[in-house]
Amino acid sequence: MKPQPQDRPRPEPSLSALTSRLRRQAHKVTGPRQAVLEILRRHPHPLTNREIFAALPPGQCDLATIYRAMHLLEEMGMVKRFDFGDGAARFELVGEGDDGHHHHLVCTRCAEVVEIAECFPGEIERRIAAANGFKNVTHKLEFFGVCPECQ
Amino acid sequence: MKPQPQDRPRPEPSLSALTSRLRRQAHKVTGPRQAVLEILRRHPHPLTNREIFAALPPGQCDLATIYRAMHLLEEMGMVKRFDFGDGAARFELVGEGDDGHHHHLVCTRCAEVVEIAECFPGEIERRIAAANGFKNVTHKLEFFGVCPECQ
DNA sequence: TCCCAATTTGCAAACGATTTGCAATTAAAC
DNA sequence: GTTTAATTGCAAATCGTTTGCAAATTGGGA
């Protein structure tokens, strides 16, 4: 079996590598932030704030704090936000220097998520931008279907 | 200037054509439903429930009723739901027999919306489905950028 | 090592979109 | 017209997310 996209050998960054990124931008390295980063580091999958909260040792930190942490990490580009259309934002750690742009294939039955390498063709996007006079055009793209187990 | 996608000459269906579609499926043709359809008919753009509500003559019907109407219309395939990532669902009337699949280019400054003809290549989608063993794969795709006026 | 100021947190309340329970109303068939 | 199931309005409930504020904490400097 040849490697599939989901077998991506993305090396999880060490926690200290992550916190140093915080420090470098003059943000405090607090317990809650480290805890959140540790969860994200261990789950190379899009996670909702509530899932992160649930994965945390009880009493570790407040849900509101997680929301605030995700905003900060998103602004810093350390995390990328995804929207699977179910009303809850999901986040994934983004490698340093990477923009984290990629897509997912989500099972509409069991919510299994597979990372997809393919992307909307850049030339077509450029053509769309040009045809309408838009600048800085990006896109959000997610795939939905029924996974093998759920069929 | 050659025709652009947004110049689409989509002929709005008559209100009676719409209500007959309701009747045909044994759903009652009520005041609120007609009012909602009338608004959708006149606005060939994705509208939020609140926007529909605001476009209605005051006291015409309750916001909750609009939510219920949109659910019904969506189930019937008379309307298609879009998600621009701002937390509010948007709806567009779908022609009979059509599946309404298309995409938009949204200005991140002023929220202007342009309908886009282009779509994610079907063969690639099929390849993605096959490679992961998924069935019934579809996608959600929206473009975001800055429109000419807002640049 | 201790101190200070700015940042960050917990908690509870506020929010906006959406859903729901329920009694009153209404469309459509008889 | 009557009848009945579908539909509505209204208010309360949910859910994800945000925010005000006082208390706790971090990190730099004395």
Task: Give the tens place of pLDDT for each residue, B42-64.
Answer: 999 999 999 999 999 999 999 99
pLDDT-based confidence at residue A27 (cuts at 50, 70, 90): very high
Distance B9 CA to D14 C1' (A): 41
Residue B12 has a pLDDT of: 80
**Interchain CB distance below 8 Å, B138 and A143:** yes
**How many alpha carbons fall within 13 Å on the CB side of residue A79?**
32
Query: Whose CA is closest to A140, among A112, A119, A117, A114?
Result: A119
Where does chain A have alpha helices with state H? Answer: 15-24, 31-42, 49-55, 63-75, 122-132
Q: Which nucleotides of C are covered by protein (CB under 7 A)?
A: 7-13, 16-21, 26-28
For the segment B18-36, the average pLDDT, to the nearest whole number, is 98
Residue A81 has a pLDDT of: 98
Name the minimum distance, in Å, from the CA of B18 to any CA of chain A: 28
pTM, full prediction: 0.90
Per-residue flag: B19 CB under 7 A of strand D = no
